[in-house]
Structure 1
Amino acid sequence: MKIEILGTGCAKCKKTFEVVEKAVKEAGIEAEITKVEDINSVMDYGVMVTPAVVVDGDVKIAGKIPSIDDVKEWIL
């Protein structure tokens, strides 16, 4: 599973990364979590507001920090 956090490195983007990491750890699954900070790469997903979370190429949320439960729903 590949999870991408889209954002320019703002506080909300960093918090989103932490939430995703924690959810993956709690779920006990293997996932590659990466940050995508290049604005052109972010826009390639059609995302105009960050932070955003992409799971296996599918944008799950944009413009707000997800909850741990939200992330678990997407990955389980």
Structure 2
Amino acid sequence: MGSFSIWHWLIVLVIVMLVFGTKKLRNIGTDLGGAVKGFKDGMKTSDEPQKANDQIQQSAAGTPEKTVDVQAKDVNK
């Protein structure tokens, strides 16, 4: 009783198709797919400039960004 069989899901699918229609469901699927694709593209483009910027800084400096070059003094003299 806790799990649904394939017949339950088919009946639900038929009812949803009768209520919304196949054209409306197709439009919802297309819109959802476009939104997911846009999100993925946005995530890829936001990572690329940061990686390129980090590589440029490391190659120009020769050392990691947070390294500080100091000279130690002996305070006991």
Coarse TM-score class (shorter-chain normalised): under 0.3
Query: How does the TM-score come out when normalised to structure 2?
Result: 0.28
Q: Higher helix share goes to which structure? A: 2
Higher RCO (CA < 8 A, seq sep 6+):
1
Q: Which has the higher strand share?
A: 1
